[in-house]
Amino acid sequence: MKTNSTQHLITLVFALLSAEAAAQNILTNGSFELPGDAGTTDAYARYYGGTNAISGWLTTLNGVEYYDPSRSDFGTAHTFFGVAQDGAYIVDLAPVADSGGGIQQSFPTTVGQEYEVSFFMGTVASCGRDGTAFLQASAAGVTNSFGVTNRGSFIQWFPKSFAFTAAAASTTLAFNSTDNPELHFPLIHNVSVVPLRTNAVRLAIGLYPVIRIDGRAGLSYVIEYVESLTSTNWRELAYVTLPTSSYLWCDTTAPNRTDRFYRAIEIPFP
């Protein structure tokens, strides 16, 4: 498709998804609340790879650390270390004294159905860590890398998401990090997977850098993009709360790009 370099408006056609009919999370124990206190000592546990100690999940690589940051040794030693995003217990993908940790869960899917993965990623500049963190999340052959920065001494949580199209009757969602555990806290919490409506129109072609979101004022949307219409690897670009029902938003993440395809999905996911 030819583009006009003098035009700066991308019309974003998207799935306006009903907040009142939010779909149920198909994951088990998405917020890691089990085993909770029963599986810890002083609200802390180190689980090595290959265990099912966190209900519904399998630890991989060198495993993970599992704790309530407000009550564990971390929390009591550092009063403002933080709290979980939703609930009490969180997962740290950089287990102490090891390089590389992970966690995964398999769940039933419908071949050809598109699903949205959402989670919160957190970190903190405490206990000698530098306030940055990185992880990889994958499902159905789609892998995305995520990073966050928080220079404060209290955990800050950032919403993250990506989409995948199921290729089998069962799909495995995996998170892992190779962060140095002495320098980083790659924390995750409140993970969900929900199917997206198959009949929704979500694709648009236009010109960088401005897109128009026609939604509902006061609601939040995740903006995602691909760089090919044949790609199923939708990547998170931003979260936007609309001040008006028709809102112009500028994509400044990839200067001089004219071939991105965008969509906006209302939160909570359908």
Task: Express each pLDDT in 110-164 by its tens digit.
Answer: 999 989 899 999 999 988 899 999 999 999 999 999 999 999 989 999 999 888 9
Question: Which residue has better confidence, 139 or 200?
Answer: 139
Closest CA to 132 of 118, 112, 116, 146: 146
Please report the sign of the dihedral spanned by the C-alpha atoms of residue 102, residue 52, residue 185, residue 46.
negative
Average pLDDT over residues 49-73: 93
Residue 188 lies in a domain: yes
If you average pLDDT over every residue of the chain, what do you get? Answer: 82
Is 24 within a domain?
no
- Tell whether the model's pLDDT for residue 240 goes beyond 50: yes
Mean pLDDT confidence for 190-199:
80
More confident residue, 96 or 232: 96
Specify whether 174 is located in the same domain as 245. no
Average of per-residue pLDDT across 44-65: 96
Domain that holds residue 146: 36-195
Q: For 43-47, 156-160, 203-207, which range has the lowest pLDDT when averaged over its residues?
A: 203-207
Task: Give the whole-angstrom CA distance, residue 24 versus residue 39.
Answer: 27
- Total domains in the fold of the chain: 2
Tell me, what CATH number does 63's domain have? 2.60.120.260
Average pLDDT over residues 78-84: 70
**Could you give the percent of the chain with pLDDT greater than 70?**
80
**pLDDT beyond 70 at 265:** yes
Contact indicator for 216, 127 with CB cutoff of 8 Å? no
DSSP strand pairing (58-61 vs 101-108): antiparallel
Residues 81 and 149 occupy one common structural domain: yes
Percent of the chain with pLDDT over 90: 50
Residue 222 lies inside a defined structural domain of this protein: yes
> What is the structure's pLDDT at 255?
64
Q: How far is CA 120 from CA 50, 147, 151, 252, in A?
A: 24, 11, 17, 23
Q: What does the pLDDT average to over 186-194?
A: 96
What's the confidence (pLDDT) of residue 200? 40
Q: 174 and 206, same structural domain?
A: no
**Which of 189-203, 204-218, 247-261 is most confident?**
247-261
Is the model's pLDDT at 91 over the cut of 60? yes
State which of 135, 161, 195 marks the end of a domain.
Answer: 195
- Among residues 131, 133, 162, 152, the alpha carbon closest in space to that of 232 is found at 162
141 and 209 belong to one structural domain: no
Q: What is the pLDDT of residue 213?
A: 81
Out of 195, 223, 250, pick the residue that ends a domain.
195
Shared domain for 91 and 185, answered yes or no, is yes
Domain assignment of residue 249, yes or no: yes
Whether 4 is covered by a domain: the verdict is no
The least confident of 19-33, 42-56, 178-192 is 19-33
Q: Are residues 49 and 116 in the same domain?
A: yes
Least confident of 25-39, 79-93, 241-255: 241-255
What pLDDT is attached to residue 49? Answer: 97
